[in-house]
Amino acid sequence: MDALKITGRKTLSGVISVSGSKNATLPIVTAALLSDGTSILRNAPELADVQTLCRVIEHAGAMTSRYDDELRIDGSRVDRPEAPYDWVRRMRASFLVLGPLLARFGHARVSLPGGCAIGARPVDQHLKAFKKMGAAIELDAGYVVASAPQGLQGAEIDFDMPTVGGTENVMLAASLARGTTIIRNAAREPEIADLAKALRSMGAKITGDGMSEIVIEGSSSLAPFDHRVMADRIEAGTYAVAGALVGHDLTVQGFEIASQQALIDVLEALGAQYRLGDGCLTLSKIEHGHPVEVVTGPFPEFPTDMQAQLMALMTQIEGVSSITETIFENRFMHVAELSRLGAEIAINGPVASVFGPRRLSGTAVMATDLRASASLVLAALAAEGETIIRRIYHLDRGYTDLEKKLQAVGACVERVEG
């Protein structure tokens, strides 16, 4: 199993280009199941999670092929509306095939995702919505068996919380349902707007994406899409934090600044000096920082997917900073590993207090999930000496060419056999 060897305390400078967004790519790939033509996704990141989803839709009968960053998905031979446990347990976003398969075939059998490292993560909101759209839902041996022999019917959906995956699953299904669907308390993440853009290019009639009420008028058939996926705002944010930690004029380029405004505000409050350009952000190491209190929340609040990386930066800031995690109940697993590098962090329920600055020094650590792994990479970049990060298959799920991108701006990072 591969590991990353990082020798810290190198100054990073130059330009890092952001790749296509993982979290936007996944639902858009499932949108290809709504059409019987060949869809084209441009700027598609080559990541383990995207490959996993391709295997899932191939199981259903789709054919996928890739030419560099262009992913083609032929939906003409999709004939098996199911997703087995073996794939869904590897990546819970596979559950997003339920909406499109149910809408296209009137029935689908998709494994429940189960819990994951960062919490229970139920799918009750997805199922409640499909029931409201006329589907009969049964749970059978760990599978969701959904059927709507007359097709799905548009409905008014009121989510209990703004769920990203739930909003996406319903948008996908409603695009091919009869009548109008209204989603209230919808998630407002930029990836939702990117999915809406792809669906609109298929002929779907969607308004309100990016706001908390989305209206979808169902169509009887949809054309394939040709869509360029948005840049990965979490990847961009991760490298921005690297700049604030060990950078000297480190530029992160090719992403929508508005998609990471909450992070930029926090970096500014921490004392970062930065310059904004057209789709790019240039940062240097924070010299005289101030502690901050951050609370994660649904977009446009501070993203839960950035809190682990931010925590690595907080270890280097004078005073007591804190992060309150409100989205997932078990998302502080990186804390034990950051502590092995020399961080001092106290956890009290959903609040992590970070005492800084602490001198970090390299040692062997273990990645536990995707963003936790990114946090360890950042801490290792700031640590004295050599850090070995094991189980980096987590990183390969979500960061395109991480070590190459970091090497190109001066980091001493190498992939070794763990």
Active site residues: 116
Shortest reach from residue 342's CB to ligand UD1, in Å? 27
Token reading at 187:
């998630």
Hey, what amino acid is at 129? A
Rounded alpha-carbon distances, angstroms, from residue 346 to 177, 267, 324: 49, 22, 12
- 166 or 291: CB nearest ligand UD1: 166
Hey, what amino acid is at 353? S
| d(C-alpha 210, C-alpha 192), whole Å | 7
State the number of CA atoms in the 13 A half-sphere of 218 facing the CB. 22
Shortest reach from residue 42's CB to ligand UD1, in Å? 19
236, 252 contact by CB (below 8 A): yes
- 15 or 116: CB nearest ligand UD1: 116
- Any idea of the CA torsion for 360, 367, 52, 108, to the nearest 10 degrees? -120
| d(C-alpha 101, C-alpha 104), whole Å | 5
- 164 or 281: CB nearest ligand UD1: 164
- 124 or 213: CB nearest ligand UD1: 124
Shortest reach from residue 243's CB to ligand UD1, in Å? 22
- 56 or 123: CB nearest ligand UD1: 123
- 329 or 414: CB nearest ligand UD1: 329
Where do the DSSP E strands lie in 126-201?
136-140, 143-147, 156-158, 180-184
Contacting positions for ligand UD1 (CB under 6 A)? 23, 26, 93, 121-126, 161, 163-166, 187, 191, 304-305, 327-328
Shortest reach from residue 341's CB to ligand UD1, in Å? 24
* β 274-277/280-283 pair status: antiparallel
**Phi, psi (rounded to 5 degrees) for 5:** -110, 120
- 109 or 121: CB nearest ligand UD1: 121
Shortest reach from residue 366's CB to ligand UD1, in Å? 21
168, 192 contact by CB (below 8 A): yes
71, 48 contact by CB (below 8 A): no
Shortest reach from residue 145's CB to ligand UD1, in Å? 17
| d(C-alpha 397, C-alpha 383), whole Å | 24
Exposure b/e, 81-107, CB count within 10 A at least 16 = b: bbbebebbebbbbbbbbbbbbbbbbbb
Shortest reach from residue 325's CB to ligand UD1, in Å? 10
Q: Which position's Cβ is nearest ligand UD1?
A: 165
Rounded alpha-carbon distances, angstroms, from residue 259 to 13, 187, 399: 23, 14, 18
